[in-house]
Structure 1
Amino acid sequence: MKMKPIHVALCLLVLISVGCTPDPKSGKGFTLPEGDIQRGQQTFATLHCQACHTVKGVTFDTLESSADQKMVALGGAKTKVQTYGDLVTSIINPSHRFATGYAEEEVATDGESKMRRYNNEMTVQQLIDLVAFLESHYSVIQYDQTRYVPFHF
């Protein structure tokens, strides 16, 4: 039995639409209200984030930290956009992905982030403001495409 082109097209359309359905646990469509950058900077200081983090272009009062504590730099120019979702996830689930550019033992112990979990002490508003503050200190380095130069033998 030969399938007609219309049947093949319909089958492909069904397969494509099923493949495009988001996972029920997907964050697609999830957003929080706009945050306040100034309040976010205050939250950063209130939660003593500066004990383990620096933020490009911002100076905080110095806090005591252990001698083996590696300071993790936040903000600055990056080649990849630090998305809203990346920042929220890094704050509420720090073991999801470890800071790049650091040896794992500097930022994790036994596969868990050294970052304290703030989920039971941070309000949603503080999270929203903190993310707004952090977002404001990232910029993206534009990719500089090199010109193609043909190789001649």
Structure 2
Amino acid sequence: MKSVLTIIALSSLLLTTGCEPNQRGNTLSFTLPQGNAQRGEQLFEKYQCLSCHTMEGYERPEVLDESGVSVELGGRVPKLKTYAELVTSVINPSHSIAPGYDVQEVTHSGESIMPSYNDVMTVTDLVDLITFLEAKYELEPYEYTTYGKYR
């Protein structure tokens, strides 16, 4: 009986040791392929991101959306520190709201007022937009996933 308990205890220890989270976070080990930043900038303008966002070096259009929201992009942002957080914020804007913004102004029924572009953008669009935006932020260093030629 004692040996059975020892085997169970050792098995449990081995199983839980293998389940320790990666200190860098599981999502940090994955990056999108390198995109075209120039095309990403064109998409940034095409999808009228400056209607609700500001970014250093870019002028907002005269006509803003009816919400009057102005969310700053780029630089050193307290809530967006990693590449994974950047990608997540584009794919799922309701994932988290950056500190400093009135939740009532930037959400509607608990969801971000930023529309989801998941059914509008292609994967290539997403890759290019992220490549463009990534250069505008001061993100924590990360290891880029090396991809072979896929086209």
State the TM bucket, normalised to the shorter chain: 0.7 to 0.9
1:95, CA displacement in angstroms? 0.9
1:73, CA displacement in angstroms? 0.2
2:32 matched residue in structure 1: 32
1:116, CA displacement in angstroms? 0.8
Q: Which 5+ residue runs of structure 1 have no aligned equivalent?
A: 142-153
Check the 8 A contact 1:45/1:60 in 2, yes or no: no
1:91, CA displacement in angstroms? 1.2
The yes-or-no answer on 1:118 pairing with 2:117 is yes
Paired residue total:
136
User: 1:42-82 CA deviation, whole Å, 9 max, x = no partner?
Assistant: 11000111101112x32146152245421100101345763
Larger radius of gyration: 1
2:99 matched residue in structure 1: 100
Q: Give the root-mean-square deviation of aligned CA atoms.
A: 3.1
The TM-score normalised by the length of structure 2 is 0.73
Q: Which 5+ residue runs of structure 2 have no aligned equivalent?
A: 141-151
Identity, % of aligned pairs?
A: 41
User: 1:3-28 CA deviation, whole Å, 9 max, x = no partner?
Assistant: 7xx966665333312x2378xxx646
The TM-score normalised by the length of structure 1 is 0.72
**2-structure distance, mates of 1:20, 1:40:** 37
| Pair 74,40 (structure 1): closer, same or farther in 2 beyond 3 Å | same
1:87, CA displacement in angstroms? 1.4
1:51 matched residue in structure 2: 51
**2-structure distance, mates of 1:115, 1:81:** 16
